[in-house]
Amino acid sequence: MLLRSEGSWPVAGVDEAGRGALAGPVVAGAVVADWALAAPWHGEVRDSKQLTARQRERLYDLIMDGALAVGTGVVDSTEIDRIGIAAASRRAMYEALAALSVEPRYVLIDWFTLPHLRTRQEGVPGGDARCLSIAAASIVAKVTRDRLMNDLDQREPGYGFAAHKGYGTAAHLFCLRERGVSPVHRLTFRPVRLVAGGLL
Amino acid sequence: MNHTEVGRRGEEIARAFLKRQGYRLLEVNVRGRFGEIDIVARKGKCHMFVEVRTRTGDDYGTPEESITRQKRDRMVACALDYVARHPELHDAAWRIDVVAVELDGEGRQTRVELIESAVPLD
């Protein structure tokens, strides 16, 4: 996207991770980078959806080194239960943008836009595959969240959070059925209550 | 039309309707441990699991009124089971919708409507 010529530079890409999870926080990443100096790993970033956890970790380090600014926002499960997942995921994005040390003049977000953002913005359909800044933000969000889930696994052992990161895998559903909910499960998400209540 | 024909006609109408509304149909009639999902679709970042309810003129009530509590729970179970088996959906936003189809005595469509989050997840 040729935004530089329109005086819209620097550009921030934003994406979120953990929206679909049954437990743990929703995490957003925001990345401002100058992609003009092409590097071989940029192509890998673009395929962010197909990456293994290890590849993501490696790219995360490259992004942290190479980007002009990186911000993250974390909204925990208690807050998700209080305000709902849609609002929580938007809040994480606002926080990620606010945490940037370089103020962007244009913001690109995967699919949707943020209603209260003052900066000019654009929701890019399929943005995590089409736009490097969004793809990089997606990697930052995922890696940051994975690390937090590893920490939560220490705090709430027995659910396998380090393995499935709170997503609805068969193993997670099994633990939820056996043990009931933990303090980091999203109680307002009906599937969580149904599984923990032994209804499914 | 017998019961099966009504159901099949309703599903055809529902599929065509969703496509016209810009939804991408990913799979239809997905059998799982907890029953069948009529349609798995996607629009933007959101995935939907769709139950098609078809009623003819002689039935009582609207299609969406015919969904029992047990049926709702089973729809959630079906959706969860589907998500568990599809890693690419683990972080997706999803909801459970109903497409209500009403037919007259000759099988002509008198109503088709998408009820988003017909089975609320929160």
Q: Count of domains in chain B?
A: 1
Residues of A in contact with B84 (CB under 8 A): 168-170, 173
Q: H helices within chain B, ranges in order?
A: 3-20, 69-85
- Which chain A positions have a beta carbon within 8 Å of B94's beta carbon? 20
- Res B82 pLDDT > 80: yes
Per residue in B96-115, pLDDT (tens digit) is 999 999 999 888 999 999 99
> Is residue A44 within 8 Å of A57, Cβ to Cβ?
no
Can you tell me whether residue B2 is helix, strand or coil?
Answer: coil
Task: Judge: B121–A125 Cβ closer than 8 Å, yes or no.
Answer: no
Please tell me the predicted confidence (pLDDT) of residue A5.
61
Per CB distance under 8 Å, which residues of B are interface residues toward A? Answer: 34, 44-45, 73, 76-77, 79-80, 83-85, 87-94, 120-122
Structural domain containing residue B60: 3-119
Q: How many CB atoms lie within 10 A of CB A61?
A: 11
| Interface ipTM above 0.95 | no
Q: Give counts: helices (H), strands (E), chain B.
A: 2, 5
Return the structure tokens found at B44: 């933007």
Residue reference for tokens 């590097």: A39
Interatomic CA distance for residues A155 and A184, integer angstroms: 10
Residues of B in contact with A112 (CB under 8 A): 44-45
Q: Angle CA(A103)–CA(A109)–CA(A110) in degrees, nearest 5?
A: 155
Identify the DSSP state of A165. T
- What pLDDT score does A174 carry? 95
Question: B45-76 pLDDT, tens per residue?
Answer: 899 999 999 998 777 788 888 889 999 999 99
User: What's the CATH number where B22 sits?
Assistant: 3.40.1350.10
Residue A12 and residue A100 in contact, taking contact as beta carbons nearer than 8 Å:
yes
For residue A10, is the peptide bond before it cis, meaning its omega torsion is within 30 degrees of 0?
A: yes
Cβ distance of B83 and A17 shorter than 8 Å: no
Question: What's the whole-model pTM score?
Answer: 0.92
Residue B119 near residue B77 (C-beta atoms within 8 A): no
Domains of chain A: 4-157 (3.30.420.10)
